Structure 1
Amino acid sequence: KCYIVPALNLAICWKHFLNSYSYSYILFESQSAGNLLDFNLLGLLREYTPEIICCNSLFFNLNNSGPATYSLNNSYKFISYLTGLIEGDGTIIVPKTERSYKGKLYYPSIQIVFHLKDLPLALLIQKNLGFGSLIRKKGVNAYTLNINDKNGILKLVNLLNGNMRTPKTYSLYNLIDWLNIKNPNLNLTKLPLKTDALKNDAWLSGMIESDGHFSVRTTMSGKYPKIECKFELSQRKKDHLGYNNEKFLADIAEFLNVSLKNIRENTPHPQYRLRTLNLESNLILVNYLNEYPLFGAKFLDLSNWTEILNLFNPKFKYSKENIDKVLILKSEMNDKRTIFTWNHLNKFYNLDY
């Protein structure tokens, strides 16, 4: 099935519920009617954006005191993809004190931020995990998938441990220390950073999902129009704990055969940036993403970007027809996109314990 979601209207009122079985449903109400939505295939109705969705379903059993056990063939892509997504747009929060000055208990949490337009992806990841609350962030176009219950935290720690590639793993280590102190019987072990080749799993696609950007530059002046397809990914040089992000970004740059540059050096938060500037690097990226695809709205931008890239061949002619096609495809990308199709989510990875 193919589901089309035009631009979201936040003024619609709604209600929701989830059942406790393997399929999840949400009831949305407008002023005129209610509609029942089956998320088994994850359809999303026009102009409805829920404020919070709580997931009550549990689709697996896991020993909380040991490493995760899963079917390698069915789950390794999901786990590596999710890890890259969390290392890009996730936060691991570990309380520094047990209680607030008012006596309120503090608990750890793991949060993943999704752009508003990526709500279908957020819902599918939540459903696949079987835990977490999806909350609309006030004042910004984003949802947060928040995991803070004990079982969810332990299961997610076991999924991330040993699969991370960035300094964010030190935040995971802090969380493991906190869990071991609270329950010494857990005896959780801190596993090292993953060093396998990037081409072997979906980690990079998760990182690109969160922080990558596809763009097309068109210059119409001169005898021949100039058309450039570029991908870039940038990160702060140092994260909030002071750890340097150069190593994992250099690995990505090496994989794509591009340079890692220093940018914004005179600002409070200088950055590293890698950018594809030639056909060879772009094709490396396309081949990788064919094997380990994107699943958010960025998948649609990549599709347009790739279609433009495929025009660059020895037989390409700078005809008006071809130029118009490039300009139309460009006009539908990134912030200019108003229509979203989600049939690609039918190929999303499953987490099978």
Structure 2
Amino acid sequence: MTYEVPALNLAICWKHFLTIIVESQSAGNLLDYTLLEILREYTPEIICCNCVLISNKITHFNHLTIDYKFKSYLTGLIEGDGCIHVPITERSLKGKLNYPSIHIAFHLKDLPLALLVQKNLGFGSIVRQKGVNAYYLIINDNKGIISMVNLLNGNMRTPKIYNLYKLINWLNLALSDKNNDLNLIKLPLCTRPLNADAWLSGFIEADGHFSVRTTFTGKYPKIECKFELVQSQKDPLGQDKYSILSTCGEISEYLKTPLKTFKQNTSNPQYRLRTSNLESNFILTDYLNKYPLFGSKFLDFNSWKEILDLFRTGFKLSHVENIDKVVKLKSEMNNNRTIFNWDHLNKFYTLNY
């Protein structure tokens, strides 16, 4: 089902949309047609909704999907753009009890994905923070926190595992009187090959970027399909991330592309990984065909891949029809995208507790 809507303020749209979700939907429920019709008044996109997202009752279409795909994808998403907060003290200065929480950030346009992750987990609240173009899925109740620890434990690959360990220590100590059976064990970093699960897909969902560079002037027109992944060199704990991006079996070696330092003389030095050859791009494409993206970045990847696939066929860039196709696909990517089709959420991973 497709909605064509006027080009008004997107932030206003989602503000009213989320208010309706909170006031009229029980925790974890998905949206129905009446809620989606509200978008007609506020959003500039065309929204295509032939998927589970418009049903009050979720239906999983891929019954063969197993838990590890969801767990690894969610772990990558959190390690790329999430936060595990553990209180330092039992009470605040005002005497209120402090509680741990886990936050997962989603861009404004990825609210449908945030809702589906929330639905699959069965806990958490989605909130919009002022001044930030994102929604946050926040888990802060004991049951949800313990469930998240069990999902993440053994699947993490970055220094954020130290925050998970702090959380496990907190839970084992703070909840030992309430739950005598609680004895969470700290599992080590995941050592599975990157192509063995969906972790990298979740990580790219958070921090990856697909782009196409075109040059049609001069004697020899050029097209470059690039994928970029940027990370701060140190996490909030001061742990260096170099081992995550470059050591044997990790991202740079897996994609056969070098890792470079970036913004070295700034307050936020970064590592930048960028594919610059067809071999690296084809490796990435094969991986994401097996472990797909699920946010709006899935749509950008599809446009990017369609251009990249032209190189498999030995196409002639000098042909006008090829240039027109590339220009059209590029014009629909990233911030230029105004049409969002969420049918791919039908294939989202299942989670069986």
Q: Give matches, 1:28-39, under 5 Å.
A: 28=35
Partner of residue 144, structure 1? 136
**Offset of 1:25 from its aligned partner?**
4.3
CA distance in structure 1 between the partners assigned to 2:40 and 2:291 by the alignment: 42
**Offset of 1:244 from its aligned partner?**
0.8
**Deviation sequence 1:24-74 (CA, Å, 0-9, x none):** 4466496999xxxx9981039xxxxxxxxxxxx9xxxxxxxxxxxxx9952
The 1:4–1:326 alpha-carbon spacing in structure 2 relative to 1, beyond 3 Å, is farther
Q: Is the 8 Å Cα contact of residues 4 and 341 (structure 1) preserved in structure 2? A: no
Partner of residue 220, structure 1? 216
Matched AA of 1:282: N
The one of 190, 200, 218 equivalent to 1:204 is 200
Q: Is the 8 Å Cα contact of residues 4 and 342 (structure 1) preserved in structure 2? A: no
Q: Secondary structure at the match of 1:344?
A: helix
CA distance in structure 2 between the partners assigned to 1:136 and 1:174 by the alignment: 27
The one of 15, 19, 38 equivalent to 2:20 is 15
Q: Is the 8 Å Cα contact of residues 94 and 175 (structure 1) preserved in structure 2? A: yes
CA distance in structure 1 between the partners assigned to 2:97 and 2:300 by the alignment: 43
Is 1:295 the equivalent of 2:294?
yes
The 1:305–1:179 alpha-carbon spacing in structure 2 relative to 1, beyond 3 Å, is same
Q: Is the 8 Å Cα contact of residues 51 and 343 (structure 2) preserved in structure 1? A: no
CA distance in structure 1 between the partners assigned to 2:164 and 2:106 by the alignment: 20
**Offset of 1:136 from its aligned partner?**
1.3
**Deviation sequence 1:238-276 (CA, Å, 0-9, x none):** 101010101111110000011111111111111111111
CA distance in structure 2 between the partners assigned to 1:140 and 1:103 by the alignment: 30
Q: Secondary structure at the match of 2:281?
A: helix
Q: Secondary structure at the match of 2:53?
A: coil
CA distance in structure 2 between the partners assigned to 1:72 and 1:325 by the alignment: 36
Partner of residue 119, structure 2? 127
Partner of residue 349, structure 1? 349
Instruction: Give the % identical residues.
Output: 61
CA distance in structure 2 between the partners assigned to 1:222 and 1:163 by the alignment: 49
Partner of residue 91, structure 2? 99
Is 1:247 the equivalent of 2:243?
yes
Q: Which moved more, 1:135-144 or 1:313-322?
A: 313-322
Partner of residue 186, structure 2? 190
The 1:191–1:165 alpha-carbon spacing in structure 2 relative to 1, beyond 3 Å, is same
The one of 53, 61, 76 equivalent to 1:42 is 53
**Offset of 1:5 from its aligned partner?**
7.8
**Deviation sequence 1:311-349 (CA, Å, 0-9, x none):** 123243421221121111111100111110000000100
Q: Secondary structure at the match of 1:15?
A: helix
Q: Which moved more, 1:143-152 or 1:316-325?
A: 316-325
Partner of residue 303, structure 2? 304
Q: Secondary structure at the match of 1:131?
A: coil
CA distance in structure 1 between the partners assigned to 2:209 and 2:81 by the alignment: 14
CA distance in structure 2 between the partners assigned to 1:308 and 1:226 by the alignment: 12
**Deviation sequence 1:74-131 (CA, Å, 0-9, x none):** 2111110000000001000000111111112111000000000000000000000000
The 1:330–1:84 alpha-carbon spacing in structure 2 relative to 1, beyond 3 Å, is same
The 1:3–1:124 alpha-carbon spacing in structure 2 relative to 1, beyond 3 Å, is farther
**Deviation sequence 1:207-259 (CA, Å, 0-9, x none):** 00000000001112211211100001011111010101011111100000111
Q: Secondary structure at the match of 2:80?
A: helix
Is 1:328 the equivalent of 2:333?
no
What TM-score, normalized to structure 2?
Answer: 0.85
What TM-score, normalized to structure 1?
Answer: 0.85
Q: Secondary structure at the match of 2:103?
A: strand
Partner of residue 78, structure 2? 86
**Offset of 1:140 from its aligned partner?**
1.9
CA distance in structure 2 between the partners assigned to 1:31 and 1:278 by the alignment: 41
- Count the aligned residue pairs: 322
Matched AA of 2:324: D
CA distance in structure 1 between the partners assigned to 2:343 and 2:84 by the alignment: 31
Q: Is the 8 Å Cα contact of residues 5 and 339 (structure 1) preserved in structure 2? A: no
Matched AA of 1:150: N
> Which runs of 5 or more residues in structure 1 are unaligned?
45-56, 58-70
CA distance in structure 2 between the partners assigned to 1:149 and 1:222 by the alignment: 61
